Amino acid sequence: MSARDDHGYGAPRGLWRELDRHPPPGADAVRRGWRSPLRGPWLTSVLGLVLLVTLPLVIITGLLDYAAYGPQFGQAFPTHVSWLRLPTFDWPTRPSWLFRLTQGLHVGLGIVLIPVVLAKLWSVIPKLFEWPPARSVAQVLERISLLLLVGGILFETATGVLNIQYAYLFGFDFYTAHYFGAWVFIGAFVAHVALKLPRLVTTLRKRRPAVPEQPDPDRLVAERPGPPTLSRRGLLAVVGGGSLLLALLTIGQSLDGPLRRTALLLPRGRNPGSGPNGFQVNRSATAAGIQPAETGQAWRLTLTGGGRTVQLDRATLLAMTQHTARLPIACVEGWSTMQTWTGVRLADLAVLAGVPDPASAHVRSLEQGGLFRQATLQSNQVTDRDALLALRVNGVDLSADHGFPARIIVPALPGVHCTKWVADIEFHDA
Ligand SMILES: Nc1nc2c(c(=O)[nH]1)N[C@H]1C(S)=C(S)[C@@H](COP(=O)(O)O)O[C@H]1N2
Ligand SMILES: [Mo]
């Protein structure tokens, strides 16, 4: 091998040599300290294959969720993402469980894969202590992409988990951080797959190797492996068991009934009370500052858009044609629930307002503050036959916490846009 090959093209050759000659104290000892005989191309490739198949699902469902928020109305945060903007499209209202599925998969799979991601990082951790950190410009670039890959997935997982545990605790905006973090990760992921896929394929095509494996060019195999404390099968069982446990602790948040209590990773709503209104509440009427006086006899629904203003009290709304639909609420945090809602079709309200063919509708709540006191619905989300201004749920009046006197409920609409304590709706013509 010539000195040129060894030291990379266009790089100051002296630099690599100097780095080589001056390892930081103890670097080698630390690297040799990783002695597990289980490390090697086979284990890294198996874990890599699992992530290669599953992570794209997390990525795609995440990007779909972003689209579901209707960024064309400036509702998805961040609104100004310049060239990272995805083509926007009208999020469908059918099947009604679509958002329940995409959001549930995104959050659920993201959680379940944590042990696999950690095991994959563990399998390559000695490389973190390799000296010199790079031997060529190409390797510098590769290692930077690895930094973005590892940093990206840890950041996305941490912000995602924190968001469902302590929603809105951040000093920065969760969506903005998670969205930009996602693109960093996606870029690094694509680069990593392109670089490593050939090696993954050749490794897995071979017969399953002995433990410890033969020394490999990537130096994943320990130089002086210690005695095994766990078989390779045992390690995979621990990782798979960890994922299964997380799955069992997560699945309850998408199931109604007693199993919801098993959703230990769902901080709110594990104990939603009983009766027809006994299902999860993210923000109670008290927390939202809704005064009983505002929702009593004095409450009016105001409709605008067609050049006139229509005001309706609750009795008038109840006297209109009522429609009942069984629809989910699915929250960005990953939980969802199916309930039976009854109320007035939004399409009927649009006709009353004088906008029979609305392009969009802007809904505002009685709530004064808070991020979720308003939402814009697209045309299909107003005209769907099951798009409702719900007055009742499961055969009784909505409870104060579920949005009495009236709330929005629309098939496949993200929960955050199912505005509670609705005060007015403004319909817009095309
Ligand atoms: N006015 C108002 N409506 C709101 C919210 C809110 O904070 N304020 N939260 C939204 C969110 S994030 C969700 S997931 C659903 C939850 O509905 P529920 O509390 O009836 O289960 O209500 C939505 N409607
Ligand atoms: Mo939500």
Residue 202 confidence (pLDDT): 97
* Shared domain check, 371 and 425: yes
Quick one: which of 288, 280, 365, 372 has its CA closest to 330? Answer: 280
Please state whether beta strands 407-409 and 360-365 pair in parallel, antiparallel, or not at all (unpaired). unpaired
Q: Are 48 and 175 contained in the same domain?
A: yes
Distance CA 409, CA 384 (A): 11
255 part of a folded domain: no
Closest to 148 in 3D by CA, of 116, 174, 187: 187
- CA of 272 from ligand 1 middle (Å) equals 14
Q: For residue 100, which of 63, 71, 61, 67 has the smallest C-alpha distance?
A: 61
> Tens digit of pLDDT for each residue in 123-152?
999 988 888 888 888 889 989 999 999 999
Q: Is residue 69 very low, low, confident or very high in pLDDT (cuts 50, 70, 90)?
A: very high
Q: Give the pLDDT confidence of 200-230 residue by residue, as tens digits.
A: 999 999 999 999 999 998 889 999 999 999 9
User: 223 vs 412, which has greater pLDDT?
Assistant: 412
**Residue pLDDT, tens place only, 284-297:** 999 999 999 999 99
Residue 167 has pLDDT above 70, yes or no: no
Q: Which of 197, 229, 248 is the last residue of a domain?
A: 248
324 and 389 housed in the same domain? yes
Same domain, 45 and 129: yes
Span 169-192, average pLDDT: 87
Residue 280 belongs to a domain: no
Identify whether 279 is part of a domain: no
Does 394 map to a domain? yes
Residue 373: nearest ligand to its CA?
Answer: 1
Q: Which residues contact 195 (CB under 8 A, 6 or more apart)?
A: 142, 145
pLDDT score recorded for residue 6: 44
Residue 259 lies in a domain: no
pLDDT of residue 11: 56
Indicate if the pLDDT at residue 393 is higher than 50: yes
> Can you read off the two tokens belonging to residue 263?
């959703």
131 vs 320, higher pLDDT: 320
Print the domain residue range for 344: 285-429
Average pLDDT of the chain is 91
Q: Which two tokens stand for residue 380?
A: 């299909």
Task: Give me the number of domains the chain comprises.
Answer: 2
Assigned domain for 278 exists:
no
Max avg pLDDT among 18-27, 219-228, 365-374, 387-396: 387-396
Could you report the per-residue pLDDT of 31-58, keeping only the tens digit for each? 888 999 999 999 999 999 999 999 999 9
Quick check: pTM over 0.95? no
Domain assignment present for 62: yes
**242 and 318 together in one domain:** no
Q: Tell me, what amino acid is at 418?
A: C
Of 107, 331, 409, 420, the residue with max ligand 1 atoms within 8 A of its CB, to mutate for a pocket test, comes to 420
- Asked, for residue 266, whether it belongs to a domain, the answer is no
For strands 422-428 and 301-304, give the pairing.
Answer: parallel
* pLDDT score, position 270: 66
Cβ(161)–Cβ(254) below 8 Å: no
Q: 274 falls in which pLDDT band (50, 70, 90)?
A: confident
Question: Is the same domain home to 220 and 298?
Answer: no
Per-residue pLDDT at 1 exceeds 50 = no
pLDDT digits (tens, 9 = 90+) for 237-270: 999 999 999 999 999 999 888 888 888 877 666 6
- Do 206 and 291 lie in one domain? The reply is no
- Residue 239 and residue 141 share a domain: yes
Q: What is the pLDDT of residue 8?
A: 45
Is the same domain home to 200 and 326?
no
Any residues with Cβ below 6 Å from ligand 1, and which?
280-283, 288, 329, 331, 365, 367, 370, 372-373, 402-403, 415-416, 418-421
**Quick one: what percent of the chain has pLDDT higher than 70?**
95
Q: What is the CATH number of the domain that holds 341?
A: 3.90.420.10
Tell me: do 242 and 320 sit in the same domain. no
For residues 239 and 178, state if they share a domain. Answer: yes
Q: Which band of pLDDT confidence, cut at 50, 70 and 90, is reported for residue 190?
A: very high
- Look-up of token digits 């067609």: 306
Q: Which atom of ligand 1 is nearest to the CA of 283?
A: 7
